[in-house]
């Protein structure tokens, strides 16, 4: 087994990992600038909630606008068809938003971009009042500095309204948009994870949970972020600061996935967590989510008196031990939606389970039969 730099993790790359075949259609559409900005304004093209902030500076955005005006080719955009007339951006956020900001004649200030992203995610658009607020935006005039003694571009200093004869060319300039739709399997949209992962291999690679949070954001994920702040969980996990790559959130996700969705488990663990995230987004009601939050709170109270060391192996946090204790103790509560207080869990009982779990982990990690045996042992010992 390999060990994660922070946590003692199962090795997911086992020989029996099942390949998933997809029936996917992709179509290339040349939407012009007017159509694209209209789609953004009406919510047909959406930004996934955990897409990164807008990062381009005005010079780079201006080069894109210049390319469109001059008819130079620009990289294509990838969109994922979530529903009819609803497309999530897989690749091309910076280009799309640069075009949108230029049409609006406003450019986002660097120190406000995280806040602006949250506003856009919540409302799906920027109001005219916000766009005109100089605390958040500044004028967007094309910025094309002269280089090496060359004559400055005649486009320099222009905004959308002052483009003159160039405005029509800009408005009607097509941008190639590849629209991807998954037809099979129908019960999940896991291909979007695979596509997003591959599209992001050319730049700064995102970790699996960063991609997952992007694609499957939901009320359940909001609950995970809230639970991840709990001091009792941070104490068990062993780090006060939240992980910027969301690995602590991924550990919580895995524990809940094993509690709620273990009957659907099959390798790899990454794909299992993708399917559960999709299930949680579509099928867990507000009542279910509120109960799971309450259950986790009661579980943390039940283990508050034990040493965090019992959840460790070779000195590091062990997700295998933690999820086994959590699932073993909480399965009946979840099945019956029991609101009772969870009695304190003796430290000796956790040590006993930890020893059994580590022995089972030596036999196998993510194979379905070993996961089933591990959880069955946990339910037996934690009753």
- At 73-104, the pLDDT tens digits run 999 998 988 888 888 888 888 999 999 999 99
Check pLDDT > 60 for residue 257. Answer: yes
Q: Which residue has the higher pLDDT, 149 or 292?
A: 292
DSSP conformational letter for 177: E
Strand ordering across the sheet containing 23-32: 23-32, 174-184, 77-83, 86-91, 45-46
Report, as an integer, the average pLDDT of 58-79: 94
Query: Which residues are 317's β-sheet partners?
Result: 7, 312
Higher local confidence (pLDDT), 200 or 169: 169
pLDDT range class, residue 5, cuts 50, 70, 90: very low
Segment (H or E) for 26: strand 23-32
Give this prediction's pTM: 0.62
Q: Look at residues 193, 367, 197 and name the one whose alpha carbon lies nearest to residue 278.
A: 193
Identify the residue with better confidence: 361 or 234: 234
pLDDT band at 12 (very low <50, low <70, confident <90, very high): very low
Element containing residue 137 per DSSP (H, E) = strand 137-139
Identify the residue with better confidence: 196 or 261: 261
How many Å apart are CA 258 and CA 181, to the nearest integer?
29
Using pLDDT thresholds of 50, 70 and 90, give the confidence band for residue 147.
low
37 neighbors 99 (Cβ within 8 angstroms): yes
Q: Give tens-digit pLDDT for 208-222.
A: 887 788 678 889 999
Q: Round to whole Å and give the CA distance between 15 and 148.
A: 57
Digit-coded pLDDT (tens) for 275-320: 999 999 999 999 999 999 999 999 999 999 999 999 988 788 999 8
């Amino acid at each position: 087994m390999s060990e994660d730099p922070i946590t003692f993790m199962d090795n997911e790359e086992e020989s029996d990992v099942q390949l998933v075949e997809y029936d996917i259609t992709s179509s290339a559409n040349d939407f012009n600038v007017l159509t694209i900005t209209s789609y953004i304004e009406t919510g047909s093209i959406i930004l996934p909630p955990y897409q990164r902030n807008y990062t381009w500076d005005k010079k780079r955005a201006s080069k894109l606008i210049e390319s469109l005006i001059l008819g130079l080719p620009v990289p294509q955009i990838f969109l994922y068809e979530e529903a009819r007339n609803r497309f999530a951006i897989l690749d091309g956020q910076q280009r799309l938003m640069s075009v949108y900001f230029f049409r609006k004649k406003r450019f986002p200030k660097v120190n406000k971009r995280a806040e602006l992203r949250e506003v856009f995610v919540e409302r799906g658009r920027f109001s005219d009042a916000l766009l005109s607020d100089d605390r958040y935006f500044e004028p967007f005039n094309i910025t094309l500095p002269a280089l090496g003694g060359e004559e400055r571009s005649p486009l320099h200093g222009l905004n959308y309204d002052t483009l003159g004869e160039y405005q029509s060319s800009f408005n009607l300039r097509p941008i190639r948009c590849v629209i991807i739709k998954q037809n099979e399997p129908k019960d999940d949209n896991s291909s979007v994870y695979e596509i997003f992962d591959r599209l992001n291999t050319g730049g700064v690679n995102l970790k699996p949970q960063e991609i997952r949070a992007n694609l499957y954001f939901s009320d359940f994920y909001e609950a995970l972020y809230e639970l991840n702040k709990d001091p009792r969980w941070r104490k068990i996990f062993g780090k006060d600061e939240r992980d910027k790559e969301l690995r602590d959130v991924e550990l919580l996700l895995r524990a809940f996935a094993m509690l709620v969705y273990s009957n659907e488990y099959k390798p790899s663990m990454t794909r299992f967590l993708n399917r559960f995230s999709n299930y949680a987004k579509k099928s867990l009601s507000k009542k279910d989510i509120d109960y799971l939050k309450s259950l986790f709170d009661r579980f943390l109270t039940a283990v508050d008196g034990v040493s965090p060391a019992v959840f460790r192996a070779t000195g590091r946090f062990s997700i295998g031990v933690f999820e086994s204790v959590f699932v073993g103790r909480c399965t009946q509560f979840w099945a019956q939606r029991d609101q009772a207080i969870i009695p304190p869990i003796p430290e000796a009982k956790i040590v006993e389970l930890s020893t059994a779990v580590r022995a089972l982990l030596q036999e196998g990690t993510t194979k379905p039969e070993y996961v089933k045996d591990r959880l069955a042992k946990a339910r037996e010992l934690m009753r």
